[in-house]
Amino acid sequence: MSTPAPTVAYGLVSQPTSRSGSGSARSFILLADQLVTNPLKTTRERYRVRRHTVSELLPQRCDGISLRVESQIIPAVLAIVGGCFLAVLLSLPFVVVSYRRRGELGFGRILLAVGFVIYALAIATYTLLPLPELTDAWCARHEAFRTPQLNVTQFIVDIRTEQRVPGLRGYLHNPAVQQSVFNIALFVPLGMYLRQFFGRGVLTSIAIGFGVSLLVELTQLTGNWFLFPCPYRIFDVDDLIANTLGTAVGVLLAPMLRPFAGRTPSAPPTEPRPVTAWRRLLGMVMDLVSVYLLGTFISVVVDAVVVYVFHGQSVQRHWLGSALVLWLPAFLLLVLPSLGRQAATIGQRAVRLRRIRPDGRPAGARVVIALLTGGAGYFACMGLSSTDSVFGTIGFGLLAGAFVLVWPRSHRGMSGLLSGLVIADSREKADVSDRPVSTSSL
């Protein structure tokens, strides 16, 4: 992955400034600014930069440390925040796929999945950000970025050129070495994930790493696939080699993820697993997340149509807002699925659970009581909480009772205790009885 274009590419320049002085003095000042603001920039890029005058590239904001911190921290923050948001969006599909492919899901795999989403987004943010002010004049001054760097030994020349101090200390402070190490380290997690988390072979993992790196370099060469008038980073074959090497190193280090990935399931995915408190809680969380996400989506779409098409008022100011945000999603995701044969909500189906009577017969009409004293009742009360605070109190009580009463041995929860239903693995065909708690998996 190439480092950003010259300092002006950080999008912090609104008007160029000029400095007086001799040509050699201007070159020295410019080189110093580049070293401070972007220590990972390779020699060949800085040599191109030095051909420009200070009046073209020197930003008004001369705080080099701040520039460097912003250029490195902002993409990381965006990756963490955006990654967590994407992890929530993808939580239900991830749980469904995990229980269908592995038959179970451990906390370690959840952490690895969230980490992978953040890591994948970090590659994207560090590839695309920070954005420059891509005017025609900027593109004309940086024609060099249109030409890919295809010399596979150029990094050796860069390291020799940048070696100011002999010995190990010189290499540690060598920006060309730092650049190469960064490009290798950036793809080490990819190799680890491909090998351990996704179960890909050694050669397949390395090939995928090469493909991802090539995609990154082509994105830079084409100006983010022609979204911009010119590229603002350089296609560098050295980066391609370093990224692929990093993937190979990650494959070798993949066993480090085994404690998080959990044990290999001893039973096939179709074999029933014990009903645990953690598994019940995961199903409840999936219900809550799914209803709120769907409700938010419906509300945003309806609001956009009402406000921008019909020029009306936002539905959030009306009782209809509660119906759209809470009641309709709860009906679609909790009530309707529970009317089926398994009498299970969308979250319970995701973790392969169902409601039945203690003697193994279908839940029947008792599921209505379970819904009213469970998730559906909670969302109904929260939708009415704006009219009377007592509904909010009842809703909170239902939620607290659901999360507390799953811990006893039967894991029936409040809705199960009040409706007389028990929770069983949906893959089990035999009669249901109380099972011992197992915390080895969800």
Instruction: Write the pLDDT tens digit of every residue in 101-130.
Output: 888 888 888 999 999 999 999 999 888 887
Rounded to an integer, the average pLDDT of 249-258 is: 94
DSSP structural state of residue 256: G
Q: Which two tokens stand for residue 246?
A: 């990093």
**The most confident of 162-176, 284-298, 377-391, by mean pLDDT:** 284-298
The β-bridge partners of 360 are: none
**pLDDT at residue 168 tops 50:** yes
Q: Does residue 309 sit in helix, strand or coil?
A: helix
Matching residue, tokens 């299970």: 344
What pLDDT is recorded for position 139?
A: 87
**Using an 8 Å Cβ cutoff, are 18 and 52 in contact?**
no
What pLDDT is recorded for position 38?
A: 41
Spatial distance between the Cα atoms of 331 and 363, rounded to a whole number of angstroms: 18
**pLDDT at residue 187 tops 90:** yes
Residue 51 CB: number of other CB atoms within 10 A?
Answer: 11
Spatial distance between the Cα atoms of 429 and 222, rounded to a whole number of angstroms: 57
Spatial distance between the Cα atoms of 442 and 382, rounded to a whole number of angstroms: 29
Spatial CA neighbour of 412 closest among 302, 226, 221, 283 = 283
Rounded to an integer, the average pLDDT of 267-279 is: 89
| 304-309 long-range Cβ contacts below 8 angstroms, 24+ apart | none
Matching residue, tokens 């600014």: 33
83-96 confidence digits (pLDDT tens)? 999 999 999 999 99
What pLDDT is recorded for position 154?
A: 86
Whole-number average pLDDT of the chain: 80
More confident call, 215 vs 262: 215
Lowest mean pLDDT, pick from 20-29, 177-186, 188-197, 335-344: 20-29
What pLDDT is recorded for position 145?
A: 85
What pLDDT is recorded for position 70?
A: 59
Write phi, then psi, for 194 (nearest 5 degrees).
-60, -40
**pLDDT at residue 335 tops 90:** yes
What pLDDT is recorded for position 214?
A: 95
**Using an 8 Å Cβ cutoff, are 265 and 294 in contact?**
no
Omega within 30 of 0 (cis) for the link into 130: yes
The whole model's pTM is what?
0.72
The β-bridge partners of 422 are: 356
What pLDDT is recorded for position 12?
A: 33
**Using an 8 Å Cβ cutoff, are 145 and 45 in contact?**
no
What pLDDT is recorded for position 228?
A: 87
At residue 434 the predicted structure's pLDDT band, cuts being 50, 70 and 90, is very low
Task: Show the DSSP H helices in 305-343 as ranges.
Answer: 320-322, 328-330, 336-338
Rounded to an integer, the average pLDDT of 207-218 is: 95
Rounded to an integer, the average pLDDT of 364-378 is: 94
**Using an 8 Å Cβ cutoff, are 36 and 8 in contact?**
no
Q: Would residue 406 be called left, alpha or beta, if left means φ above 0 and alpha means ψ between -120 and 50 degrees?
A: alpha
What pLDDT is recorded for position 32?
A: 38
What pLDDT is recorded for position 239?
A: 92
**pLDDT at residue 192 tops 80:** yes
**Using an 8 Å Cβ cutoff, are 188 and 247 in contact?**
yes
Q: Which two tokens stand for residue 251?
A: 């494959």
What pLDDT is recorded for position 316?
A: 62
**Using an 8 Å Cβ cutoff, are 140 and 10 in contact?**
no
Q: Which two tokens stand for residue 112?
A: 């690895």
At residue 71 the predicted structure's pLDDT band, cuts being 50, 70 and 90, is low
DSSP structural state of residue 386: T
Matching residue, tokens 């007086």: 20
**pLDDT at residue 47 tops 50:** no
**The most confident of 4-13, 27-36, 164-173, by mean pLDDT:** 164-173
